[in-house]
Structure 1
Amino acid sequence: MSARTSPSLLLRVVPLYPLSPRRAGTLVHRNLLVARRNWVVFASGFFEPFFYLLSIGVGIGGLVGDVVTDGGTALSYQQFVAPALLASAAMNGAVYDAVFNLFFKLRYAKLYDAVLATPVSAADAAVGETVWALLRGAAYSAAFLLVMLVLGLVGSWWAVLALPAAVLIGFAFAAVGLGATTFLRGWQDFESVQVAVLPLFLFSTTFYPLSTYPRPLQLVVECTPLYHGIELVRGGVTGAVGWSLLGSAAYLLVMGLAGLAVGARRLERLLLS
């Protein structure tokens, strides 16, 4: 290399350190610019949980009546279902962006081949994509929380913690989704993603309390991530706040950090090997 070579040129090939919030932020900014051009696709994610609330929470709720939670609190069916749908919106938004969009960028658009020609590292790319996915999930959750407030389904000031809880859910699922995407070989593998996400949505106490399951199945449900996300959001919205929620938060945090570590390592192996 010539003695006149600019230091900035060297940084475009070999970053000084493997992870930089500023460099990861440039990828988030790039995704924001793309979302502004495809705002219809982005906005469509706001409607799915709202339609579920109207059809199941309001429609079936008129037939079910009140529900007694596992903590012994009596809630209307709408009040019981709405926090779970909020948590599910955070999960679905994060998974959609971290899996479907990332797979297209990785396998077909070859976006990261160009990204890694800049000072952005594989770890930066993993963090940037995870942050963008959780921001998308948080946006859906914030809109849904506002709908819940308008409909009178928020029963406690502790509900202010529902949005940070949704962000944590988005982080956990976005990071794991990132790692899972690096193992997908083609579009047909998305069926395995649906096989994982759909049971979580249906059986993680989204529509009925944990006590309706036999005890062996309860133990399985208690090990699933969306169950802990729903517990966090439902506890905040209904005011049933206890120390056990810290365990649920720790579960999601560890899950997210582990997924991010695997995703960053896999991205680096796929793109730099």
Structure 2
Amino acid sequence: MALLPDLARSPALREFTYWMHRYRRTWRGTVVVNVANPLLFLAAMGVGLGRLVDDGGSDHLHGATYLAFFAPGLLAAAAMQNAFLDSAGPVFQSARQRGNYRAAAATPMRPADILTGHLLFTGFRVLTSALAFVVVIVATGAVPWRHSLLLLPAALLTGLAFAAPVAAWAVTVTRSTRINGVFRFVLLPMYMFSGTFYSTTQLPDWLRAVVSVTPLYQGIQLCRELALGTAAPLDSGVHVLYLAAMATAGLLLGRRTYTRHLYG
């Protein structure tokens, strides 16, 4: 029990508490982007378009309905989007001269604590949005509840694989247009071509090779295999190791960039 007071006084948790305090005042404005948009997209594409796909039949779905195929892909893509939105613009604004990072850096809190606390908050946001999504897809029958139990950690890992590297980069950004550019020319192409809407086996070989090394593809494959009950230990292990390596590399790089730019 003595560990609990020490944990509560952790500098990283103090930073997390700051972001949660802000979130209490802004959460209503994020519901549409983080929860409602993916659910509406699920209804339009998974249910609406899915009926046409199911009627026509497709060997690329391997016997699954389009909704069951599409839902876990959208879950991973939503985790990517939510992680980017919470770790790009907010980090950029916080690192500016009058941002809250500057105030935190003037205290005994280390840059690594600031980064870790912000990533804890981003993970919380990804996890709660994923929970709402998973509840809906289980309720619709797209995914059996017994297959849904591992979807939450898979979505969280996918989100952190983006959040940590993006935060490490965003703290160095001096113009917001660069963040918009990355969203348009990096995230959106991944969203479209990494298998969210269709099997990547339909892509040309050269494009499929490029797509297969992206973190979103790894997250989609992990979530889809878990949802459909087709996960194999070796394949799933590769996806988990890839995503964990991305998150770890982002965390290590972020410690350096946060130190350089907050104390520079």
What TM-score, normalized by structure 2, do the two folds share?
A: 0.91
Cα deviation for residue 151 of structure 1 reads 0.6
Gaps of 5+ in 1: 1-19
> Residue 118 in 1 paired to residue 107 in 2?
yes
Q: What RMSD over aligned residues (CA atoms) do the two structures have, in Å? A: 1.7
Gaps of 5+ in 2: 1-7
> Residue 36 in 1 paired to residue 27 in 2?
no
Change (3 A) 1:142 1:108: farther
1:220 aligns with: 210
Match of 2:90 among 98, 101, 122: 101
Aligned sequence identity (%):
33
Measured in 2, the distance between the counterparts of 1:81 and 1:108 equals 43
Match of 1:210 among 200, 213, 220: 200
- Counting only pairs closer than 5 Å after superposition, residues 230-269 of structure 1 correspond to structure 2 as 230-242=220-232, 243-269=234-260
Cα deviation for residue 193 of structure 1 reads 1.8
Greater helix share, 1 or 2? 2
Q: Counterpart of 2:22 in structure 1: which amino acid? A: V
What do residues 210-248 of structure 1 show as CA deviations (whole Å, max 9, x unaligned)? 210122211111101000001111111110110201101
Partners of 1:67 and 1:77 within 8 A in 2: no
Larger radius of gyration: 1
Q: Runs in 1 of length 4+ with deviation above 3 angstroms? A: 66-69
3-state DSSP of counterpart to 2:64:
strand
Cα deviation for residue 108 of structure 1 reads 5.8
2:158 aligns with: 169
Partners of 2:72 and 2:220 within 8 A in 1: yes
Measured in 1, the distance between the counterparts of 2:172 and 2:21 equals 28
203-212 vs 72-81, greater mean Cα deviation = 72-81
What TM-score, normalized by structure 1, do the two folds share?
A: 0.88
Measured in 2, the distance between the counterparts of 1:183 and 1:260 equals 14
1:146 aligns with: 135
Match of 1:53 among 38, 42, 45: 42
3-state DSSP of counterpart to 2:219:
helix
Measured in 2, the distance between the counterparts of 1:238 and 1:169 equals 18
Measured in 2, the distance between the counterparts of 1:186 and 1:21 equals 35
Measured in 1, the distance between the counterparts of 2:175 and 2:252 equals 23
Measured in 2, the distance between the counterparts of 1:234 and 1:120 equals 40
Partners of 2:169 and 2:257 within 8 A in 1: no
Measured in 2, the distance between the counterparts of 1:143 and 1:156 equals 14
3-state DSSP of counterpart to 2:109:
coil
